[in-house]
């Protein structure tokens, strides 16, 4: 009981100090506000526009900005504001799903590798090094030609090839934690290895995992946009920001209808910068060695 009473103020003090450190970081606050505005706009899309992002009306094509169409329409008469807002939903959903899946797999493999060591550790590290040899873009090109463009294929490739960095971070933390007295105490009390790893050790590595989950979302959104622009990403019927950019890559559109590429491009830029600013502030706040 005494230990619990003594630990609570310490944990509370560390949490309070981390929050204060984050709040003093102006760029982190700017990033947080940018993320909040983007997420709110995409979630509240039905309240901000009444148009279906996929509705085609050739009588309304290539209209300029107006009260009815605040950002105008594209060459198929689709409302650009609706496409950007609903496209943001898809882009964010894909980015979050890929980031969560990648870091979950990395946390499991890193924990197993660091805890068991020996042959298990060497095998997993070798697999990670082997996977890092294959360029992700080349894998997308090969599978796009074999299986076609699919959201499941895109997510699977990202998750199966992107776990290496986080896995190494988690592994190093587990190797350090394995020497702590509380781990030996758990073993002496007959607690299973599974419980030791995932109930006692993984919670102590959540800082870098949370940071990587946050930072990776922007990277996956940017990657999706690049792959889709090259024609090897998601199917054209999914209105992501990348697909909107892909539909505006013709030279006549680039020159005569700049809003069709500037608006989704600005949304991707805002998301990426906001996540980077927020992530940097979060990293500093979670790093107990930062003064």
214-241 pLDDT, tens digit per residue, is 989 999 999 988 888 887 888 888 889 9
Q: What is the pLDDT, as a whole number, of residue 4? A: 44
Are residues 75 and 42 in contact, defined by beta-carbon separation less than 8 angstroms?
A: no
Between the ranges 231-235, 255-259, 285-289, where is the mean pLDDT highest? Answer: 255-259
Which domains, from first to last, does the chain contain? 27-49+73-286 (1.10.3720.10)
- Tell me what pLDDT residue 160 has: 87
3-class DSSP state of 73: strand
34-83: pLDDT as tens digits: 999 999 999 999 999 999 998 898 989 988 999 999 999 999 999 999 99
pLDDT of residue 265: 92
- Between 8-17, 108-117, 246-255, the lowest mean confidence (pLDDT) is in 8-17
Rounded Cα gap, residues 183 and 193, in angstroms? 10
Whether pLDDT at 11 is above 80: no
* Cα separation, 271 vs 244, whole angstroms: 16
**Predicted confidence (pLDDT) per residue in 180-208, tens digit:** 888 888 888 888 888 888 888 888 888 88
Provide the pLDDT for residue 6: 47
Q: How confident is the model at residue 289 (pLDDT cuts 50, 70, 90)?
A: very low
pLDDT in tens, 122-161: 999 999 888 888 788 788 888 777 777 788 888 988 998 8
Are the beta carbons of 18 and 286 closer than 8 angstroms? yes
User: What does the pLDDT read at residue 195?
Assistant: 87
Note the pLDDT of residue 283: 84
Residue 291: pLDDT band (50, 70, 90) is very low
Residue 5 has pLDDT above 60, yes or no: no
Alpha-helix residue ranges (DSSP H) falling in the chain: 2-23, 26-43, 45-48, 80-116, 118-131, 136-147, 151-161, 164-177, 181-188, 193-195, 206-229, 241-246, 251-256, 259-286
Query: What is the separation of C-alpha 49 from the centre of its chain, rounded to a whole number of angstroms?
Result: 26
Q: What is the CA radius of gyration of the chain?
A: 23
pTM: 0.84
The C-alpha atoms of residue 278 and residue 285 are separated, in whole angstroms, by 11
Q: Which pLDDT band holds residue 1 (cuts at 50, 70, 90)?
A: very low
């Amino acid at each position: 009981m005494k230990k619990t009473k003594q630990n609570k103020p310490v944990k509370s003090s560390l949490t309070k100090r981390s929050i204060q450190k984050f709040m003093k970081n102006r760029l982190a606050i700017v990033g947080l506000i940018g993320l909040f505005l983007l997420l709110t706009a995409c979630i509240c899309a039905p309240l901000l526009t009444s148009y279906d992002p996929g509705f085609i009306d050739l009588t309304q094509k290539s209209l300029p900005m107006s009260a009815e169409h605040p950002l105008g329409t594209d060459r198929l008469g689709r409302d650009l504001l609706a496409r950007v807002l609903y496209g943001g939903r898809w882009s964010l959903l894909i980015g979050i799903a890929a980031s969560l899946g990648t870091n979950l797999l990395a946390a499991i493999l890193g924990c197993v590798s660091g805890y068991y060591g020996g042959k298990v550790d060497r095998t997993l590290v070798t697999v990670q090094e082997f996977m890092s040899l294959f360029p992700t873009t080349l894998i997308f090109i090969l599978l796009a030609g074999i299986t076609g463009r699919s959201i499941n294929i895109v997510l699977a490739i990202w998750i199966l090839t992107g776990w290496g960095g986080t896995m190494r971070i988690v592994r190093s933390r587990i190797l350090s934690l394995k020497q702590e007295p509380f781990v030996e105490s758990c073993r002496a009390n007959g607690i299973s290895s599974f419980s030791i790893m995932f109930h006692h050790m993984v919670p102590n590595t959540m800082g870098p995992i949370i940071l990587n989950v946050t930072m990776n979302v922007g990277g996956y959104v940017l990657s999706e946009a690049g792959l889709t622009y090259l024609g090897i990403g998601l199917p054209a019927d999914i209105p992501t920001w990348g697909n909107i950019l892909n539909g505006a890559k013709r030279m006549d559109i680039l020159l005569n209808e700049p809003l069709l590429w500037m608006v989704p491009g600005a949304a991707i830029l805002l998301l990426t910068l906001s996540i980077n600013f927020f992530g940097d502030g979060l990293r500093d706040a979670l790093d107990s060695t930062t003064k």
